Structures are given as structure tokens and as C-alpha cells.
Amino acid sequence: MTTLAPAAPQGTSPRSRSAARPSATPASARPIPTWWRDASICAAWGLGVFVVALWVMNGGITGVTTTAGVLTETGRLTGLLASYLLLLQVFLMARVPFVEQAFGQDRLTRIHRVVGFSSFTLMLAHIGFILLGYAADSPLGLWGTIVDVTLNDPGMLLAVAGTVALCMVVATSARAARRKLRYESWHLIHLYAYLGVGLALPHQLWTGRDFLASPLATTFWWSLYAVVALTVIVFRVGLPLVRTQRAGLRVTTVELERPGTVSVTMSGRGAHRLHAQAGQFFQWRFLDGPGSSRANPYSLSAAPRLNARGETELRLTAAMIGDGSQRLATLRPGTRVLVEGPYGRMHPGAATQRKSLLLGAGIGIAPMRALLEALPGGPGDITLVQRHRNDADLVLDTEIEHLAQMRGAAYFVLAGHRVPGRDSWLPQQYAEVSDADALLRVCPDVLDRDVYVCGAPGWMASVETALRELGVPSEQIHIEHFTS
């Protein structure tokens, strides 16, 4: 096949729920201020430079006159930078609204990963250089110095425990290990990063020369730890509790879309205060018994709307592939819902262009369906591509076809297994077409559009590679991962 033409879904029939669910009028998007990201980057780099400046002010340069001095001062500097990056990593985990909205979940995930592995590497370097520096000036030798420092320095045993916790977090964050863990297990282990930071704190504040060298240094580090701790308490605990209480969300309906895929609709009189936009995601907790303490990320599959009772209605659609998602099918109407969010830049407010291209694979079509409903634009301004392997993966297609007709949007359905032998977003019947050329055939003016992508990580990577090959600017590409 040499051409790609718009196609309506095959082998489907309209469902009564779809016909009864009217399309919401596209709401005015709330643009994201561009200076938020620039201000965050400047602040992060500025604090890092100030950390180095404090090291210099407290004798970092003058102490490198001997071999022991070089090792010790290098250990001091790497320890300070490791501490700062570790705090920055925790700050990135805190989901501060303006930071999360400025960068988006996908970019924050990448930054979080780089900062995390950098801080861990610097921490190991700190331990090695400090011990070698102390050993060079001690008659105990290296192993004697290690035992002496560990057992006799205040807070060192706690620091060792903190290091073990951080090692566990880093080990399970490696891509190979991450793929073997359930999301719930990975998320629980990831929380040990907080424990690692907390256990390292006494060692740094009791014995760290750079923490005690001057009132300025002491004030800076105490303030930095306090601000990060307060940020976590406010935005990971306090704000979600307040938003949940004000929203008053409860389950209203649970519907099986296809075997293995379920949609859950919730409503609450205060849900409009969540200020959710189509395509964003929440961390959801359903208070229905065992397992309710674990949060799972699901995107909105429909634009927020008012129901007949005057309550704001939210809907998610999920594939039942894990313990958390399998529980969704058993939820009962009236079940109370706890939420964290909304998160992500997969929404109309992230748009930079008038036109949009939406690409969704499998259950990743859920936020694309919501965006199709809510993005501004007239006929011809929106193109949607739904990628699926087989009929079992084809979900929300009737709703999407109906919305596409109402909005004058182009709708493509590409079915089949991926092209063998290459990393491609295309099905195998289009093996003779390059990934980039396929995008041009679907959407010739892709360079002038915002592109929203959601699906399996490998599939999204293939789409992103094709987009960059075509020269689509980074600020026009919106991709979300749920693993930070």
C-alpha cells in the first residue's frame, strides 16, 4: 500500500452510550506562561553555582596543597553537589504545580532521571574521595579508616542506611529492572528516596564542615532542606487532601468498553475546582478496600463536563493489565475517590499552533479522544491517528468517529502488528513506507501543527524520532510518560 487515506473504523457498531454522550464545546485553553520554565532553570543553576561558591569561600581551593587535601576537598565538593542534586530530585518529585506545568511530565521524567543518576554518582564519588583522603592522613589505613568513620562519626550509621536506600531506588530505576516490576511495586520502592535523604541529613548537619563553616552556609543548607521538606508536605500530601475534600468525587458509572478495557466516570459538585483540562492525568485512589492506598496514573478520556445534577464529571479509560487497573471493573457507584493532580502538558493549554495532530496507540488513545473533543479549531484543523494491533485494542473508536464527524477532523485507523525488523510506529502492511513519510502522508503540514502522542514507550519513541527527522520543533511535540 503506497498511500494512507482516512478510514472509518471497521467492524464496529454505534453504542447507545456514545450517542447519548454529547460533545462538549471546546473550552478556552489556559496557556502556560513560558517564563515559568525559564525561571525554574535559572533558579536551579543559580543554586548549584552558589553551592560551589560556598565551598570556595570555606577553604575549598586553599585545601588542595597535598595529596590528602586534594582527595578530601574533592570529596567535599562532590558531596555538596550530590546533596544539592538529591534535594533537587526530591523537589522534582514533589509535583510543584508551576514546575510540573512548565516542563510537562515527559520532560520532568527525563530531568528527574538525569539528576537522580548524577546525584547518585556524585554521592559514590564523595564517599570514595573522602575515605581515601582521610586514609592518606591516618595511620589506620583504608579499611581501618572506613571502620573508624562509620562507627565513630556522628550520624554515619544513619548515612550508611540512607545510602543503602538510595542504592535500592537507583537499582530499580534502571530500565531493565523497571520493565520487570509492576507499577505499584516500583512506585512503593521509589518512595525510599525520601528515606535516603532523611537518613543522610543528620550526618551532613552534625559533621559536615561546609554545613557548619559559617552562619551563611548553615542558614543556606538548613533553609534548603526545610523548603524541600515543606514542598513535599504541601504538594504531595496537603494539596491532594485539600483538593480531594473540595472536589467530593465519587464513582457514578463503570462501563466495560471491550474485554480488558474499562471506563470509570466520577462526579462531584466541587470537581470544577480541580481545573482539569482534557488529556491531563491524575493519580487516582479508589476507597473500595484493600489496595486503595496505592495510586495509579490514568488520563482523562473525555473533556470535563457538567452532568444533569450540575456536578462536574470526569472520566478515565484504562486497560486492565495490573492489579490496580483490574480493580476498576469492580468499583461500585458511590465509591469515594482521592486524587492527585491534574498533571501533564497533554492539554489544549500547551498548544503553540492553531492546528493539531493527535497520535494514540492502544489505550494511549484515551487522552487523544479527550483532546479531539476539547481542542479549539475548525474543520481541517485536527487530524487523529489511532494505532491498534487487533480488534481487542480498538477502543473508543465509535466516540472518536462521531466527534471527528462533528468537528470536521481527519480520522485514520492503522491496524496490525508493528513493522518487523525496525523500530517503527507503523503496522507491517506499511513496511515499504518510512515512518517520516507516513506522517507526511497523514498530515502534510505537520511542521505547522502541535503533535500530541500517547502509547507504549517504544512506540512513542518511534513517533518522536520520525517527527524530529521531519524537523518538527521540540516545543510542538507533546509526549507523556507516567514513571516519575
The DSSP result for 144-167, as a single string, is HHHHHHHHHSTTHHHHHHHHHHHH
- Residue type (1 letter), 360: G
* Spans of all domains in the chain: 35-240, 248-343, 347-479
Find, among 314, 394, 382, 321, the residue nearest to 353 by Cα: 382
How many other C-beta atoms can be found within 10 angstroms of the C-beta atom of residue 98? 13
Contact residues for 201 (Cβ-Cβ < 8 A; gap 6+): 225
Q: How many helices (H) and strands (E) does the chain have?
A: 17, 12
Beta-strand relationship, 305-306 and 312-319: antiparallel
- CB-CB contact of 312 with 306 (8 Å): yes
Q: Which cell is 395 given?
A: 477502543
Assess if CATH 1.10.10 describes domain 35-240: no
304 CA to centre of own chain: 21
Question: Long-range contacts for 84-88 (Cβ within 8 Å, ≥24 apart)?
Answer: 84/47, 84/48, 84/51, 84/224, 85/48, 85/115, 85/118, 85/119, 85/122, 86/119, 86/123, 86/166, 86/196, 86/197, 86/200, 87/197, 87/224, 87/225, 87/228, 88/44, 88/47, 88/115, 88/119
Rounded to an integer, what distance in angstroms lies between the CA atom of residue 190 and that of residue 193?
A: 6
97 CA to centre of own chain: 13
Rounded to an integer, what distance in angstroms lies between the CA atom of residue 484 and that of residue 347?
A: 19
- pLDDT for 454 equals 92
pTM: 0.75
- Helix H or strand E segment including 292: none
Give me the average pLDDT of each 10-residue run along the chain (484 residues): 39 34 46 73 92 86 80 88 88 81 75 85 87 82 78 72 74 61 59 69 67 81 90 90 92 91 93 90 87 83 90 92 77 93 85 93 93 92 92 87 94 89 88 91 94 92 94 89 54
Assess if CATH 3.40.50.80 describes domain 347-479: yes
Beta bridge partners of 254: 264
Residues composing the chain: 484
- pLDDT for 357 equals 96
Fold match between domain 248-343 and domain 347-479: no
Q: Which cell is 437 given?
A: 513519510
- CB-CB contact of 281 with 323 (8 Å): no
Q: Which cell is 343 given?
A: 498533571
- pLDDT for 4 equals 53
Transcribe 242-254 into DSSP letters: HHHHHH--EEEEE
Whether the upstream peptide bond of residue 342 has omega within 30° of 0, thus cis, is yes
Residue showing cell 532553570: 41
The SS3 assignment for 477 reads strand
Rounded to an integer, what distance in angstroms lies between the CA atom of residue 69 and that of residue 98?
A: 43
Fold classification of 248-343 is: Elongation Factor Tu (Ef-tu); domain 3 (2.40.30)
